Amino acid sequence: MARQKKKSTSAKSRSASGIDDHNQDEAEEQGLASDEAGRLKIKKNYEELLGIRVEKLKGRVLNREKINKSIDGVYYICFSCKRISHNLDEGLVEDPLSQVNYCAACAKEKGIKAAAS
């Protein structure tokens, strides 16, 4: 009978699981729902990935996702505050004149109304 190799975890998977555990603990401390915690984690990943290019990409949509059959999620960079946002968390308002995206708070400050859809 042949000997079987023992399964060992790689260093990469160990470090990734440690990061996930840390983010999950952080989300639980803040009292967020699991989907909100996931969006927060993705936003932080975008911030790390984009770095200084946020200035160049402000007002643009980064990614669209299908949450279920009737709800679409959109990650975008607010033109005014330059934060990475999600339409379900911060709201999404597109300026009809310049076609750039604002979070709900910045749109309210600038007096831009959301288009009725």
Residue in the structure block whose two tokens are 């639980």: 28
pLDDT tens readout for residues 60-92: 999 899 988 888 999 999 999 989 999 998 889
pLDDT tens readout for residues 29-40: 555 577 888 888
Which residue, among 45, 27, 26, 46, has the nearest Cα to 35 in the 3D structure? 27
Please report which confidence band the pLDDT of residue 27 belongs to, taking 50, 70 and 90 as the band edges. Answer: very low
Contact 101, 59 (CB under 8 A): yes
